[in-house]
Structure 1
Amino acid sequence: MAQINHVETGTQPNPQLSLIPSTWETDVRELDLRHRREAGLALAQSFAADPLSLYVMGIDDAACWPSEKIWRLHVLLMQYSYASYRFRGIATTIGGDYDAIALWMPPGTTNDDWLATLFSGMWRLWYQLPRESRKRLFGEMFPALHGTKAEVLGDRNGDSYYLGYLGTKVNSRGKGHATKLLRHMTGKADAENRAMYLESSNASNNRFYAKFGFEVKSEIVLTRGPVPVRLFCMLREPQIDKTSSLVDMGTEKD
């Protein structure tokens, strides 16, 4: 049966009905493991030009694989990462097409164990990645991330909120999506009097995070490539007056 979506209207306009929820583009939604493929692809698109992603994929390596193959591996890495975080953590999104995504590990949870590694598929990367990428990811980056986080947080390492990923697609930036995703969790952390921790892979984003109360506490320098890549380890203490959770971001590009 044919469907016709053109309807003649009279002089009196009628409200346009739609099955799309009115808040679909503006409200924060939680995702589950069923969204693994779509969310992973959205994260891959968001981090396609990220310095850390380029480094891990080894595009500076003379033996780098063809770009199409590297892109497919990048998508797989993000899909595995999504599953690793969502296995015990929280995944949120905003926008009609996974325009921005945040992956969190709440207090008392971890994705740094064999069960999460097996469940998510992260173990497959050991066999799928090029040799140099494998060394950078498993031999250099992961140990540095785990060690520095434990050093910065100390006794609170297992009792804080960890932001593993916050990514926005290029054509959706500047709309406040990242701001809403952060506010969604900073208020919860403040109410529980808990710290928050993240690693920023782009120095230009540090100012954005600082508006929420994050401060750089340490740096990680990855040196297996011709140009060192820096990660900025940022800590946010609980905000008693909550003002930093409600800050007006103005025209900040997030």
Structure 2
Amino acid sequence: MALINSSISDASESGGKDCQRTTPESTQMQIVLLGDGEIERAATVMAGAFASDPLGLYILPDPQNRLTMLSWFWRQALHRNHLYAGNYTTAGEIRGVASWLPPGAPRETLWDLWQPFWQVLRCAGWRSTYRCLALLEFVERLRDRHCSSPHWYLDGLAVAPESQGQGIGSLLLQPVLERVDREGQTCCLYTSTERAVRFYQRQGFTVCEEVRFQTQAPPLWYMVRSPQ
């Protein structure tokens, strides 16, 4: 259950995506699986990267608790995805994180989400809780519509603000993108900025649909990548 992704997706380049430039330093960077003991720090990095994302601003309009709630959301998502070895980061210092769900991973039901959303209700209020639930239900419908067959789902991609513009986001995606190409699988995501759309297009994703899950909400782009 991620709030902001590649997917409340994924984020913009100014809020979680790197620019396309690759530096000599980034070409030497090693991408590794995130350790269980690194989840707390990784969640903090992701919250900071997504703090100005349009979708995060809409769902968590109160700046007093936005970072706290984003960190909490990402801890939940990273712990869940850790069960499937779906979290990737940079070796040594955590400069970014890519978090995936593999084909066959069970989707969360409203019953599964009851306890987490009680926490949202308590800390962020009814308006944010309602928007979270509406978004997650809406995104599940998009997945059914555009990715009905088994697929990899990018739950979130974030690069620390001070490390953006170095090609780290592209590197973080490579382990799974190389795997899906070898195995002939599809992957998908949603994102909420046009800059992020352009970034993902460079990684081989195509836009299937541009929508708003509520009238006043920012636009979302749902994107799918076929094996290449």
Which residue of 191, 194, 197 corresponds with 2:185? 194
The aligned counterpart of 1:38 is 41
Q: Secondary structure at the match of 1:229?
A: coil
Q: Which runs of 5+ in 1 are unaligned?
A: 1-22, 240-254
State the Cα distance separating 1:89 from its structure 2 match: 4.9
The aligned counterpart of 2:163 is 172
State the Cα distance separating 1:230 from its structure 2 match: 1.0
- What do you get for the CA RMSD once the two structures are aligned? 2.5
CA displacement, residues 14-33 of structure 1 (integer Å, 9 cap, x when unaligned)? xxxxxxxxx9x710010143
Contact 1:43 1:78 in 2 (8 A): yes
Which residue of 122, 141, 144 corresponds with 1:127? 122
Matching of residues 90-101 of structure 1 within 5 Å: 90-94=86-90, 96-101=92-97
CA displacement, residues 205-251 of structure 1 (integer Å, 9 cap, x when unaligned)? 111111121000012303364xx311100011111xxxxxxxxxxxx
Contact 1:88 1:110 in 2 (8 A): no
Q: 1:224 to 1:32 in 2, by over 3 A?
A: farther
TM-score by length of 2: 0.80
The aligned counterpart of 1:142 is 136
Distance in 1, matches of 2:87 and 2:112, equals 15
CA displacement, residues 120-169 of structure 1 (integer Å, 9 cap, x when unaligned)? x565324332111011001x101110001110012x1xx11111100111
1:56 aligns with 2:59: yes
Q: 1:160 to 1:117 in 2, by over 3 A?
A: same
Q: Which amino acid aligns with 2:227?
A: P
1:72 aligns with 2:68: yes
Contact 2:65 2:124 in 1 (8 A): no
Distance in 1, matches of 2:187 and 2:70, equals 27
TM-score by length of 1: 0.72
The aligned counterpart of 2:98 is 102
Contact 2:207 2:221 in 1 (8 A): yes
Distance in 1, matches of 2:135 and 2:168, equals 28
Q: Which runs of 5+ in 2 are unaligned?
A: 1-25
Q: Percent identity?
A: 22
Larger radius of gyration: 1
Q: 1:37 to 1:123 in 2, by over 3 A?
A: farther
Contact 1:90 1:105 in 2 (8 A): yes
Contact 2:45 2:95 in 1 (8 A): yes
Q: 1:114 to 1:97 in 2, by over 3 A?
A: farther
State the Cα distance separating 1:111 from its structure 2 match: 4.4
The aligned counterpart of 2:205 is 214
Which residue of 222, 225, 228 corresponds with 1:233? 222
Q: Secondary structure at the match of 2:106?
A: coil
